[in-house]
Structure 1
């Protein structure tokens, strides 16, 4: 009976996945190069308006890091038609919510409103692009905001600089070596004209994708988009020609110190390909197999059974040009770094030499299906997926068929990528240690 119930539940779950992934959308370009994506869903009176700019930390002058993230804050300061500090007040007064976020590859701004305020959302985003006020008062104000964010999230947070250690250890030439939040010294040294020039270069219609998703009338929405965005002039085409990294051919070690920790962390880090290619999806599955949940192989071995680690985790940090696969472990008690690494390597070697079990493989497929459904379970999530697939992957329809990439992964693929990318000779070992007291 239990097996029958499980089977029925699996069939129901599969049906949910198959129906949930069918997301219809329309996309087109304005004459100025802005890409537009529309998704109509009239089941709830909600709409999300978002704009993703193809600019992130990797696009910055290496002597002026932090600009992309800085603009995530600065472009809420106000415009010629929105008073300073009024942007978010307008959103909340009209029943909406808004946010923004930045990565190494892009910056995304969005608002979610009751659908009767869709036009307001479009106007707000056109104001942000058309004529924001970028003055010294705003720069000085947001400079302090960013400094406080850095203090809270990184400088005073245990393990807060692990991402910095990862990026700077893995990249020496490519601008991925710079962190998203950047250098406070660089921001302090920047002139107002440099911020204005950064905006003129990257915040242009032909470097942006606009998404409108939810309870919309497409014809009406197109009219408003034409009204608010079509006459914004295009900018100069952006040319990206980043230096390529030399292959890692022998294992190296680096050490970072953190005054906020008492327990060291050890990371095995490998450079992996762009998140656009199939192998990136296989590496995502491999990271799930190694450390996602209490039944994963590294957790069972190091945390549950042998009590050698307080925590262990594997993840594929996917980025547009190149990515990082990392395995992190915090030792339990007197467990040595060598013991942790040897045990981790032993589990990797098993994957390199033997196919994982059919049972474990099916579990990975189920997790991928579940994650796929959950990422598109809200209008806000659908909007983010649509615009992300367009900007970073060049294929908006991945919102419907990305799951097919996972479904076409085989156990042989997992074995292959483990052998191809997780060789000891191709990694950097990061010793993230407590700062020694003087």
Structure 2
């Protein structure tokens, strides 16, 4: 089971990255803030509604009547950053265990039912939430609700179930982290950036702690957090509010409220004081790369206009083939195979702003790093232009339109935002807040947050070279020849998943 985004998920980052992959032509023809046609289309969009069951479960309905299918997502407001110190990985481990049997249904019955009707299912764990997903013909929605409600309260965990699955997650760590130098570097960068926050601990967990995870750990975590008053049910598809309400009351409404998780008080980051660097050399590395990650506020912690400004700043600086980084490093200087920037803002606590680059041809990684830093320094010093800002807003408008065309993407956007402290009204007003951002606000965000003392620079090198001054693209590679997609080269963001 896979899902593409790690920490944030479908708020600003998803839209910004989607915008980065749109045609460069979109950036060349600024349009009015909202055309009459766009306003009319917006008015016709079905209203998103919400209600809360007596047991505390929030239910959100996103109508989409274009096809007779429905997407159900259950989001628990708990992720790896909520774990007790010493049991890292328990949130992800429980995600695996939720696919085991319950008092009512034996192991595999739920997944087999989804498969038998041609549906899709998924699950993912992040720092701030854990979610479970099915997309099925709409007539099977109530059955899916019954299965999901059942495992919310009736999960059966024995040592015979738990211990073999612990071996599975340890093997998953071996495959995805221990065998991937890039993933190891990302872990090291996160640990250096987040010195006090639990965001510095990998979602999958540290191996020495994973090896000790027990049945009692899983049951305690399940009993505390997997209660309806700590969850959100999102249903997107060919449904009405009344239909969803009736089905939810008959299924989820019968689940007892069995715990009070309370407020999510977590260790917070102190104000950064020093630039940090992390270098990893490995014989398996063929393409060297560099990434610089800045500690910035998230949508949940930012002052008014800051998160929106950071989102647009990332687009202008490194959001695709029309961005400053791409034009400077790939087109003009010809030294980078891939480069860009993005903002991860959908988080309960701090967010991240990242730049990255990989060398091309005879250029060294050191040259690429210096060129990226020069573009960042330039945008901090000189600011963005009105034309650049309008072009970025235009790309975001179009990206949001594409996102609304996908049930799962929309449910993901709302689920991630609701699980990290936002309201439906705040999610809905996001496009208007983007439109209201000014040049001065973007420039202020750049000056405030793109400071080296707020950053960690991670460098990935082949074992055959001693420093980034010697690291180049491998001979004969597409990167060396320059045949690279404009969005290639970004460090992969991915949930630790089943």
1:216-268: CA deviation from partner (whole Å, max 9, x where unpaired): 24334322212222232221233332222221123232323344313332222
Matched, 1:159 2:182: yes
Matched position secondary structure for 1:81:
coil
Partner of 2:493: none
Q: What's the counterpart of residue 120 of structure 1?
A: 143
Aligned to 1:69: 92
Match of 2:119 among 96, 105, 124: 96
Cα pair distance change 1:413/1:74, threshold 3 Å: same
* Contact persistence 2:79–2:129 (CA under 8 A): yes
Partner of 1:315: 342
Relative distance call for 1:17 and 1:307 in structure 2 (3 A) is farther
Decide whether the 8 Å contact of 1:105 with 1:320 is kept in 2: yes
Match of 2:37 among 15, 22, 45: 15
Deviation at 1:127, TM superposition (A): 1.2
The 10-residue stretch of structure 1 (358-367 or 342-351) with the greater mean CA deviation from structure 2:
342-351
Distance change (3 Å), C-alpha of 1:148 and 1:225: same
Question: Within 5 Å, which residues of 2 pair with 1:233-382?
Answer: 233-234=256-257, 235-276=259-300, 277=302, 278-318=305-345, 319-332=347-360, 335-336=363-364, 338-382=366-410
5+ long unaligned stretches in structure 2: 1-24, 467-498
Question: Is the CA contact 1:20–1:373 (under 8 Å) kept in the aligned structure 2?
Answer: no
- 3-state DSSP class of the match of 2:99? coil
1:15 to 1:72, Cα distance in 2 relative to 1, 3 A? farther
Match of 1:395 in 2: 423
> For the aligned residues, what is the CA RMSD?
2.7
1:386-408 CA deviation, whole Å, 9 max, x = no partner? 33332224211344321111111
Structure 2 Cα separation of the partners of residues 15 and 434 of structure 1: 53
In the alignment of these two chains, the number of paired residues is: 434
* Inter-partner Cα distance in structure 2 for 1:84 and 1:303: 51
Deviation per residue, 1:108-138 (Å, 9 max, x gap): 1111111111111110110120211222233
The residue matched to 2:75 in structure 1 has which SS?
A: strand
Q: What residue number does 2:227 align with? A: 204
Aligned to 2:182, the other structure's residue is in SS state coil
CA-CA distance at 1:9 after TM superposition? 9.4
Matches of 1:337 and 1:380 in 2, distance apart?
38
| Residues 23 and 400 in structure 1, CA contact (< 8 A), matched pair in contact too | no
Q: Deviations over 1:309-341 (max 9, x none)?
A: 222221222222001112112233564555334
Is the contact made by 2:357 and 2:372 (CA closer than 8 Å) also made in structure 1?
no
Q: Aligned partners of 1:279 and 1:49: how far apart in 2?
A: 32
Deviates more, 1:250-259 or 1:182-191: 250-259
> Structure 1: which 5+ residue stretches go unaligned?
none
Q: In structure 2, how many angstroms separate the alpha carbons of the residues matched to 1:11 and 1:209?
A: 33
Normalised TM-score (structure 2): 0.80
In 1: Cα distance, 2:354 partner to 2:328 partner: 18
Shift in alpha-carbon separation, 1:247–1:257, aligned structure 2, 3 A = farther
**2:211 maps to 1:188:** yes
Say whether the 8 Å CA contact 1:23–1:399 is kept in structure 2: no
* TM-score, length of structure 1 as denominator length: 0.90
Shift of 1:377: 1.1
Structure-2 separation of matches of 1:424 and 1:123: 51
Judged with a 3 Å threshold, the aligned counterparts in structure 2 of structure 1 residues 129 and 306 are, in CA distance, closer, same or farther, namely same
Q: Which stretch of the first structure deviates more once superposed, 221-230 or 122-131?
A: 221-230
Aligned to 1:81: 104
The answer to whether the 8 Å contact 2:122/2:132 transfers is yes
Quick one: structure 1 residues 141 and 24, their matched pair in 2 at CA, closer, same or farther if it must change by over 3 Å? farther
Deviation per residue, 1:275-326 (Å, 9 max, x gap): 2333122112111111222221111211222122222221222222001112
Supply the distance in 2 between the matched residues of 1:8 and 1:243 (Cα, whole angstroms): 43
Equivalent-residue separation in structure 2 for 1:267 and 1:385 (angstroms): 26
